[in-house]
Amino acid sequence: MSQALLLKLRSELKQVADPERAPDMQRYMKSAMPYHGVPAGGQRQVFKRVFGDVQFESGAAWQKAVLHIFRNARFREEWYAAVALCDWKKVVDFQTPDVLPMYEEMIVTAAWWDVVDALSSHSVGLLLRRYRKPIGKEMRAWSRSENMWKRRTSIICQLGFKQETDLALLYACIEPSLGSKEFFLRKAIGWALRQYAWTNPDEVRRYVRAKASRLSPLSKREALKNI
């Protein structure tokens, strides 16, 4: 099933591919992997056609399909398809803590913001909503990882949580990266704080003041942008 799904996906993407658009997409994403040249809207339509009627008999079968597509992708849109399949409504019941290693593999392998941010804010975020204690513990560990993208994931996995944000977890995940010079970590810190500021601007102001000497100028600007 996994191979058939990949072949169908690749065929559908090729049918709507725009070879003239593909090089620009690849350059913009600084991707070593080529693109078919299918814009986001076209991708969503393809994924809906390919995955719409698919039924997975188990969580293991779903994970096998996701990883087969991801590991054998030849074009970046095929990576995006694997990411979309992680967030498919029909697989919500399969979202348990034992799925986290799959997301970790995809995050570490992709090592770029397009894949990482989608998995962080949707898939990992969903796991955290459902299993606060075990996934929260893992995010604290990821926040101290040598891998920058795991650190970024731990910081931004609560982007859509609003009043349900676990502030202690958010601050714990930010803490190990406060002194980092990595752009993607500084941006992640500011982004996470900016999102929470929609819910509690006074708390974000307080935090930025308290950490003023350690937060980068970029993180501060992002955090206070909408206040």
How far is residue 13's CA from residue 72's CA, in Å, rounded to a whole number? 15
Q: What are phi and psi of 211, to 5 degrees?
A: -105, 20
Domain 112-227 in the same topology as domain 1-94? yes
Please, what are the averages of pLDDT over each run of 10 residues along the chain (227 residues)? 91 96 97 97 96 93 97 97 95 96 98 98 97 98 98 97 98 97 98 98 98 97 95
How far is residue 40's CA from residue 209's CA, in Å, rounded to a whole number? 39
With 0-12 / 13-18 / 19 or more C-beta atoms within 10 angstroms meaning exposed / middle / buried, residue 181 is exposed
CATH of 112-227, one of 3.30.70.270, 1.25.10.90, 1.10.287.3510, 3.30.300.30: 1.25.10.90
With 0.85 as the threshold, say if the pTM is over it. Answer: yes
From the list 22, 16, 71, the residue with the least C-alpha distance to 46 is 16
The rounded percent of the chain whose pLDDT value lies above 90 is 96
**Where along the chain do its domains lie?**
1-94, 112-227
User: What is the model's pLDDT at position 189?
Assistant: 98
Phi-psi region of 30 (alpha: psi -120 to 50; beta: other; left: phi over 0): left
How far is residue 64's CA from residue 35's CA, in Å, rounded to a whole number? 23
How far is residue 151's CA from residue 213's CA, in Å, rounded to a whole number? 21
Token pair 């944000």 in the structure block, residue: 165
36-62 residue pLDDT tens:
999 999 999 999 999 998 999 999 999
Helix count (H) and strand count (E) of the chain?
14, 0
Neighbouring C-beta atoms of residue 163, cutoff 10 Å: 8
User: What is the model's pLDDT at position 1?
Assistant: 75
Side-chain half-sphere of 20: how many Cα atoms within 13 Å?
A: 0
With 0-12 / 13-18 / 19 or more C-beta atoms within 10 angstroms meaning exposed / middle / buried, residue 134 is middle
The average confidence (pLDDT) of the chain is: 97
Show the beta-strand stretches assigned E in the chain: none
What distance, in Å, lies between the first and last C-alpha atoms of the chain? 50
User: What is the model's pLDDT at position 97?
Assistant: 98
CATH code of the domain made up of 1-94? 1.25.10.90
From the list 162, 188, 165, the residue with the least C-alpha distance to 175 is 188
Neighbouring C-beta atoms of residue 226, cutoff 10 Å: 11
User: What is the model's pLDDT at position 148?
Assistant: 98
